[in-house]
């Protein structure tokens, strides 16, 4: 039994919980003090960016993507409902759910790597679609899902649907998986290198790793998201980096030039 069982269905939670988690976690970063000693970019760089890409535009873009995601998720849960004749969903064992989540992580990473990479190599798609996300040269938490609507559909929505279907997870397990994926994605875009950040301890694909991809030198590297750098390392698109402390405070992720 879970705490929401008496109030909303697993399908409703699977649809809306990741959206709520996104705004709570991104909002947490947005409301934090400046933390200049932990920034990957200076506040001056962020202020310059906000002139060309206002926060209001970013919020509208994210909400549009989440509207599409919620619509697709609701339809997907309706079609794949695993409820028995009495209307009760049979939840698999914890071990099975863990395996399903691991499978879903691999499927999502694989889908997003190849679609993301193709959007960089196809000049039309990059210019008219993916470049919208790269307008945020200085990534920040609320902008994690700031994408062109077509990219949001192809990369995130279809990737999530495929992960759900291939793994065979229930809507209840999906609440956990997609909420975690959202938190990880937001953290990768937060622009802060905070001490003790658990994601930096357990994932090589982290805030600095993705920051490299938003830099000019790393534009065709570090495509992997949101979990592991597996495909980058296997296919030669991995760009390592050094984390250098700036004299004025904060850090800078500097690409290690490839031979």
Domain parsing of the chain, residue ranges: 10-255
**Backbone φ and ψ of 108, nearest 5°:** -65, -45
Beta pairing partners, 238: none
CA distance 135 to 139: 9
Cβ–Cβ contacts within 10 Å for residue 158, how many?
A: 15
Q: Which residues of the chain have pLDDT under 70?
A: 1, 6, 82-88, 258-259
CA distance 126 to 231: 20
Angle at Cα 27 formed by Cα 155 and Cα 146, nearest 5°?
25
CA–chain centroid gap for 53, Å, is 20
Identify the pLDDT of residue 51.
82
CA distance 169 to 187: 24
Alpha helices in the chain (DSSP H): 10-31, 43-52, 55-80, 94-121, 123-128, 149-151, 158-167, 171-188, 198-202, 207-214, 230-235
Identify the pLDDT of residue 78.
86
Cβ–Cβ contacts within 10 Å for residue 3, how many?
A: 6
CA distance 44 to 81: 50
CA distance 154 to 88: 32
Identify the pLDDT of residue 85.
47
Identify the pLDDT of residue 31.
92
| Alpha-carbon separation of residue 126 from 119, 135, 177 (angstroms) | 5, 12, 29
Identify the pLDDT of residue 84.
45
Q: What is the crossing angle of helices 158-167 and 171-188, to 10°?
A: 140
């Amino acid at each position: 039994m879970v705490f929401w069982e008496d109030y909303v269905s697993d399908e409703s939670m699977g649809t809306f919980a990741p959206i709520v988690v996104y705004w709570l976690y991104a909002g947490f970063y947005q409301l934090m003090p400046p933390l200049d000693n932990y920034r990957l970019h200076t506040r001056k760089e962020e202020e310059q960016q906000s002139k060309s890409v206002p926060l209001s535009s970013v919020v509208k873009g994210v909400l549009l993507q989440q509207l599409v995601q919620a619509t697709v998720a609701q339809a997907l849960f309706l079609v794949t409902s695993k409820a028995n004749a009495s209307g009760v969903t049979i939840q698999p064992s914890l071990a099975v759910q863990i395996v399903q989540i691991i499978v879903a992580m691999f499927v999502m990473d694989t889908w997003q790597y190849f679609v993301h990479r193709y959007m960089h190599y196809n000049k039309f798609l990059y210019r008219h679609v993916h470049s919208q996300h790269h307008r945020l040269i200085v990534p920040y938490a609320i902008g994690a899902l700031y994408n062109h609507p077509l990219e949001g559909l192809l990369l995130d929505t279809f990737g999530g649907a495929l992960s759900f279907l291939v793994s065979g997870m229930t809507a209840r397990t999906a609440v956990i998986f997609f909420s975690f994926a959202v938190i990880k994605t937001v953290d990768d875009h937060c622009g802060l290198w905070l001490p003790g950040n658990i994601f930096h301890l357990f994932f090589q694909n982290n805030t600095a790793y993705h920051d490299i991809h938003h830099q000019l030198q790393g534009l065709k590297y570090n495509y992997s998201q949101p979990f592991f750098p597996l495909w980058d390392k296997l296919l030669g698109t991995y760009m390592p980096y050094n984390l250098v402390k700036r004299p004025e405070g904060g850090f800078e992720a500097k690409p290690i030039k490839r031979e």
